[in-house]
Structure 1
Amino acid sequence: MLRASVIAIVITASLVVRASPEPSARELHRAGVEAFQRGDYTAAAHAFAAAAQLRPDRPRTLYNLAVARMRVHDTAGAIEALRQLSSLGLVLPLGDDEEFAALREKPEFRAVLAAMAAHREPRGKATPLFTLPKHAGIIEGIACRPSTGDTFLSDVHLRCIWRRTAAGAVTRFTAADDSIGGMFGLVIDEPNQRLWAATSLMSAVAGVAPDTRSSGALAAFDLDSGRLLARYPLPNDTREHLLGDLTLAPDGSIYAPDSSAPTIWRLAPGAAAPKPWITSSVFESLQGIALLDDGRKLIVSDYANGLVLIDVATCALHWLAAPVSTTLVGIDGLAARGTAVIAVQNGIEPQRVVRLSLSDDFSAITSVTTLASSLPGLDDLTLLTLGDGLPTVIAHSGWALFDPKKSASMSAHDVQVFQLPPLD
């Protein structure tokens, strides 16, 4: 967790959170980068080591610490940093990294490489549920409707939502509409017969120029017909915005993290537009979001910082510390039931689905268990849901195939949806 106390300042209806004057892990890491760039490798090693003390689960800090120590000929210290890096369950191509060429014949370095290679061994279980064959889009979000057996899948590239019936028939659910951006996270509001989507206009969307400034909006569709009922855009300000996920609170509010601006947005029931709910300079790349404690708390993933717990009533932030030898970096989609949080960790290698067990008061992570990793077909993961209470995740989404520098269109690929064993 980022060990910086915060001072809450309420401004109108939103909260702005500012970091304390004490150096944070991010600031220490930045100082290390600056020292390294000017050739002061001793200062860089000290800064990275201090950052790693605060955030021992941050892979890039441990890697940079190892490199800086190599530059000052501290090979034992470099190997220790790499050993810590390996303990997080990651795989990096260290054997081919010229920064560590001097270590290649050392048994301690070979032991690190062997430990990393072991992380590629298949773990857990994931059963193929269905496939979207020869799909030329990017499937990001998923929502299941128990009352009909329908599964809804959002498409970033083709800016639409697909519906798969209980019988397995797949049809385009929403109409073509240039005012709608790429579709990301989905959530069903069964009582009000609505399907909500987080949408964003950005370079991965078909027909959008690569240099387009990204913008976001929430959209509500009729749950039976797919007709667009309302669109709620974010402000057209000078910042880029990207809404990748959302959740529906018991009071009807929609909460949506912004991956580009350090803000969580709230669309209140009956409101005409989303309003900033919490803005924090600590946020770096917000991703997934899920409700906890009957809607009294939210858990939000930050690609660079891990997981933050938010009290809905007070807007208080509490960063969750990673248990020893685990990392919370690179988490995208979230789903929760009781004190169990299921997370898609697609920002590390190998990608995986993990279960986080929380304490009874939700204030701490008591354990992290890998549910599925390095299994056949389980890569290029995006968001997930609890379909029939079972973790259900999208794989072969298409993100790994999209390269706007080569082509604006997508090659056809088989999108796979996997189901994991039930939660205990």
Structure 2
Amino acid sequence: MKLKQSAIALALSAMTVPGIVLAGTTPALAASDRQAATTSGHSRPAAPTIDAKGPGVFPHSADYYPGSRKFVTGSLAHSTISSVDLKGRVRTIIDDKKLVSVQAVRVDSKGNRILAGNVDYGTAERSTKATTFKVAGVAAYQIGSGRRLWYADLNKVAGDDKQHLVADVTVAPDGTAYAVDQLSSTIFRIDRKGRASVLVSHKLLAGNVDVPNFLNNVGMSAVAWMPGNLLIVAKADGSLVRVPVDNPKKAVKVKLSKNLKALTAGIRVLPDKSLAVVSSGLLSGKAAVVQRVRPGRDWKSATVKVTDTVTDPVTSGITAGPRGATYALSGGLAALLAGKPNDGFTLRPVDVR
């Protein structure tokens, strides 16, 4: 299906660098948000629901600029990346013709970059039959100019002519990025210059969840870097896998007190290094579920507690927000898959206590 592209409104020039501060930011408020984010391990503070006025954007994930009081989202329908303020105003900040559909977005404030995962579900404006599930890449853009720093073609790195889908990206403190492939058992490593390689392919990372009439053998859905140089990988089936970066072949399943609800869709690292997780109701039709995962020693085990639900079943992302809040993203995925338009999307505060 072909969806009408939003008008381009390049706005990265409104940011100041360094510090990822957008025009109009109140410094005192930005500072209070940063303090709250480091002292609060939970939400729900007095945070507003954000009804974003971005028709046709269809974001799958969001990340928050602590110093700007704005979110960044990608678009499954377009090759665009947008900013969203607390009043729901959406501005396109990057429109890169190298991209087909943007699923994962990540703000690397230390590296002054935005990272974006390039995919093709066959539903984007630039989709073709030849590229559907054959596009897999990560791009990095400079905050302040929007200039593309590099593009890592992970489909080329895999070199197997199979289906691929970059579900999520995380960044280590040294600037190395790690991307997980939802349709294979592969984690990719990308250095600061955009040079990509296979970190590991492991049977524990393979998929076993089918979404009828859409995707089969869905596996890794989200990833987070943790102290100890560990990757914690969330799989759609509700399991977590612990991957030591320095010895990735020693990946093991995390022993959970109970499995996360399937389909696990997105994770957020909380200030105390536990995880907030949102599980989509795409298959069940029931409310999306928010859970908190508290690790045992070295992430070899963890306890899972349901903390909230989201009325919209098809909730695909979870992110930090202002004043220590946590937000769940409902981006209109069901409408996109049905070929229907949307008027915007919603960021809703959720409880992760």
Aligning the two structures, in what range does the TM-score lie when normalised by the shorter sequence?
Answer: 0.7 to 0.9
Does structure 1 retain, via aligned residues, the 8 Å contact 2:122–2:128? yes
Identical pairs, percent:
18
Following superposition, the deviation at residue 218 of structure 1 comes to: 0.7
Following superposition, the deviation at residue 257 of structure 1 comes to: 0.2
- Residue 133 (structure 1) aligned with residue 53 (structure 2): yes
Cα distance in structure 1, aligned partners of 2:254 and 2:352: 25
Cα distance in structure 2, aligned partners of 1:144 and 1:183: 16
Structure 2: unaligned runs, 5 residues or longer: 1-42, 208-218
SS at match of 1:246: strand
Does structure 2 retain, via aligned residues, the 8 Å contact 1:181–1:216? no
Does structure 1 retain, via aligned residues, the 8 Å contact 2:105–2:117? yes
Cα distance in structure 2, aligned partners of 1:416 and 1:240: 30
* Number of residue-to-residue matches in the alignment: 288
Evaluate the alpha carbon distance shift between residue 148 and residue 182 of structure 1 in structure 2; reply closer, same or farther with a 3 A threshold: same
TM-score by length of 1: 0.62
Q: Which residue of 1 aligns with 2:244?
A: 311
Cα distance in structure 2, aligned partners of 1:295 and 1:169: 39
SS at match of 2:168: coil
Evaluate the alpha carbon distance shift between residue 359 and residue 252 of structure 1 in structure 2; reply closer, same or farther with a 3 A threshold: same
Cα distance in structure 2, aligned partners of 1:320 and 1:422: 20
Evaluate the alpha carbon distance shift between residue 357 and residue 192 of structure 1 in structure 2; reply closer, same or farther with a 3 A threshold: closer
CA RMSD of aligned residues (A): 2.5
Bigger radius of gyration among the two? 1
Following superposition, the deviation at residue 381 of structure 1 comes to: 0.5
- Residue 332 (structure 1) aligned with residue 265 (structure 2): yes
Cα distance in structure 2, aligned partners of 1:323 and 1:166: 36
- Structure 2 residue corresponding to 1:182, chosen from 96, 101, 121: 101
Q: Which residue of 1 aligns with 2:223?
A: 289
For residues 190-339 of structure 1, the aligned pairs below 5 Å read 190-210=109-129, 212-214=131-133, 215-236=135-156, 237=159, 238-272=161-195, 274-282=196-204, 283-284=206-207, 285-292=219-226, 294=227, 296-304=229-237, 306-315=239-248, 316-324=250-258, 326-337=259-270, 338-339=272-273
Following superposition, the deviation at residue 346 of structure 1 comes to: 1.0
Following superposition, the deviation at residue 140 of structure 1 comes to: 1.0
Evaluate the alpha carbon distance shift between residue 174 and residue 356 of structure 1 in structure 2; reply closer, same or farther with a 3 A threshold: same
Greater helix fraction, Structure 1 or Structure 2: 1
Does structure 1 retain, via aligned residues, the 8 Å contact 2:170–2:223? yes
Evaluate the alpha carbon distance shift between residue 143 and residue 346 of structure 1 in structure 2; reply closer, same or farther with a 3 A threshold: same
Following superposition, the deviation at residue 308 of structure 1 comes to: 0.4
Does structure 1 retain, via aligned residues, the 8 Å contact 2:100–2:125? no
- Residue 390 (structure 1) aligned with residue 325 (structure 2): yes
For residues 3-24 of structure 1, the C-alpha deviation after alignment (integer angstroms, 9 at most, x for no partner) is xxxxxxxxxxxxxxxxxxxxxx
Following superposition, the deviation at residue 370 of structure 1 comes to: 1.6
For residues 29-108 of structure 1, the aligned pairs below 5 Å read none
Cα distance in structure 2, aligned partners of 1:161 and 1:248: 18
- Structure 2 residue corresponding to 1:362, chosen from 267, 285, 299: 299
Q: State the AA in 2 paired with 1:330.
A: L
- Residue 371 (structure 1) aligned with residue 307 (structure 2): yes
Does structure 2 retain, via aligned residues, the 8 Å contact 1:150–1:166? yes
Does structure 2 retain, via aligned residues, the 8 Å contact 1:339–1:359? no
Evaluate the alpha carbon distance shift between residue 157 and residue 168 of structure 1 in structure 2; reply closer, same or farther with a 3 A threshold: closer
Q: State the AA in 1 paired with 2:246.
A: A
SS at match of 2:137: strand
For residues 126-166 of structure 1, the C-alpha deviation after alignment (integer angstroms, 9 at most, x for no partner) is 96531123622311111111122221111111221111246
For residues 344-403 of structure 1, the C-alpha deviation after alignment (integer angstroms, 9 at most, x for no partner) is 11155332111112214321123x222222x44x332111112243221101x1211123
Following superposition, the deviation at residue 167 of structure 1 comes to: 6.4
Deviates more, 1:205-214 or 1:222-231: 205-214
Q: State the AA in 2 paired with 1:191.
A: K
For residues 265-297 of structure 1, the C-alpha deviation after alignment (integer angstroms, 9 at most, x for no partner) is 00023343x2111102332111101122x2521
TM-score by length of 2: 0.74
Evaluate the alpha carbon distance shift between residue 213 and residue 414 of structure 1 in structure 2; reply closer, same or farther with a 3 A threshold: closer
Does structure 1 retain, via aligned residues, the 8 Å contact 2:261–2:289? no
Does structure 1 retain, via aligned residues, the 8 Å contact 2:51–2:87? no
Cα distance in structure 1, aligned partners of 2:155 and 2:73: 27
Cα distance in structure 1, aligned partners of 2:300 and 2:316: 26
Cα distance in structure 1, aligned partners of 2:88 and 2:58: 20
- Residue 163 (structure 1) aligned with residue 113 (structure 2): no
Following superposition, the deviation at residue 416 of structure 1 comes to: 0.7
Q: State the AA in 2 paired with 1:302.
A: K
Q: Which residue of 2 aligns with 1:7?
A: none
For residues 47-67 of structure 1, the C-alpha deviation after alignment (integer angstroms, 9 at most, x for no partner) is xxxxxxxxxxxxxxxxxxxxx
Does structure 1 retain, via aligned residues, the 8 Å contact 2:52–2:88? no
Deviates more, 1:299-308 or 1:208-217: 208-217
Following superposition, the deviation at residue 168 of structure 1 comes to: 5.1
Q: Which residue of 1 aligns with 2:279?
A: 345
Greater strand fraction, Structure 1 or Structure 2: 2
Evaluate the alpha carbon distance shift between residue 167 and residue 400 of structure 1 in structure 2; reply closer, same or farther with a 3 A threshold: closer
